[in-house]
Chain A
Amino acid sequence: MRVIQSIFDRHVDLLHKSLDMRSRRNNLLSGNIANVETPGYKSKDLVFEQALGKAMKADIPGPLRITDSRHMDGRGLVPLEQVQPEVILTSNPVGNLDDNSVDLEREMAKLAENQLNYQGLTQMIGHKFAQLRASIREGGV
């Protein structure tokens, strides 16, 4: 178990978490697009990037020494495993008469951006595994 944990370093955890968040964001954006014509629907988005960035800092020792997993380091940082995304309502500056706040162009752009990011992340995690494979086989094929 110990060995496995050290093989898969924090970056694999981060990539895994980011992939999860991206796919959840994709769910929300799909829901927004499905409800472009629903009166009164409020468009939603998922915010997680800052929280993930902060969680990565939780690895660097804080001002207080931790000798037990239940200790706090004094910075109030949430470890990566416990990061929860935040659902926000996005506003549409133009606004629709039927009180619907979905901006279709923006949602499509977000969807494409999210998809590209997701594909980038899958590539990165793939490279990570390829590196591990290379070192396990001592560089051989």
Chain B
Amino acid sequence: MNFLTAMGASSSGMASQRFRMNIISANLANAETTRTPEGGPYRRRDVVFGALPAARTFEEELRSKAIQDNPLHSKVLGVVIDERPPMLKFDPGHPDANEDGYVAMPNINTMEEMTNLMLASRTYEANVTSFNATKAMALKAMEIGKA
């Protein structure tokens, strides 16, 4: 079914952007977290996207080849930890301060996270638009032959 192919691609885009929004929210929520299970301050996480072909349909499996003009789906390949060093903040009263009075704080730039969040949300909306365009086309196709 042709329209489902486009809808699948659009929804893959939405799913990966939503996942990215989750990660950004986690970054923002932990902007001040100094203790984590792995030890040390929270470290910023980032999402890696990849373009992969969709799972092959039964028909393609039978013909043992993918249709050449099938769209690639957007997939989350993994979550990487940002390697930038923690920011040292002078706060001798903090329970996690070192002997010099410095606390290792997560190096999260709120502006950067907000920009990425907006980007993710706009990309999500673009996918919603293309999904709706496909839906409108499918509905129009069903009107063919209507008296």
Q: How far is the CA of A25 from the CA of B137 in the complex (A)?
A: 12
Q: Could you tell me the distance between the alpha carbons of A115 and B49 in the complex, rounded to whole angstroms?
A: 28
In contact, A38 and B51 (Cβ under 8 angstroms): yes
Residues of A with C-beta under 8 A to B140: 118-119, 122
CA distance A130 to B146 in the complex (A): 9
How far does the alpha carbon of A111 sit from the alpha carbon of B128 in the complex, in Å? 12
Given A27-B6, A35-B72, A85-B69, does the pair A119, B137 have CB atoms closer than 8 Å?
yes
CB of A11 closer than 8 Å to a CB of B = no
Give the contacting residue for A37; candidates B3, B70, B74, B137; CB below 8 A. B74
Interface centre among A23, A37, A114, A129 (most CB of B within 10 A): A37
In the complex, the answer to whether B71 meets A30 with C-beta atoms within 8 Å is yes
A24 and B2 form a contact (CB under 8 A) = yes
Sorting the interface of chain B by its residue count into under 10, 10 to 19, 20 to 34 or 35 or more gives 35 or more
Say how far A74's CB is from chain B's closest CB, in angstroms. 30
Contact A26 B133 (CB under 8 A): yes
Bound complex: CA A111 to CA B143 (Å): 20
- Please pick, from B51, B133, B136, B141, the residue contacting A41 in the complex, using a CB distance under 8 A: B51
Interface flag for B29 (CB, 8 Å): no
Interchain CB contact under 8 A, A129 and B145: yes
CB contacts (< 8 Å) of B3 on chain A: these are 23, 26
B68 touches A87 (CB 8 A): yes
Interface membership of B33, Cβ < 8 A: no
Chain A interface residue count: which class?
35 or more
| A45 closest partner in B (C-beta) | B69
The answer to whether B71 touches A118 (Cβ under 8 A) is no
Say yes or no for B119: interface residue by CB 8 A criterion. yes
Could you say which residues of chain B place their CB within 8 Å of the CB of A112? 133
Residues 92-135 of B, flagged 1 when their CB comes within 8 A of A and 0 if not, give 00000000000000000000000000011001001101110110
Q: B-side interface residues toward A, CB under 8 Å?
A: 2-3, 5-7, 9-10, 12-14, 16-17, 20, 49-51, 68-74, 119-120, 123, 126-127, 129-131, 133-134, 136-137, 140-141, 143-147
Listed in ascending order, the chain A residues whose CB lies under 8 Å from chain B are: 19-20, 22-24, 26-41, 44, 46, 85, 87, 104, 108, 111-112, 114-115, 118-119, 122, 125-126, 129-130, 133
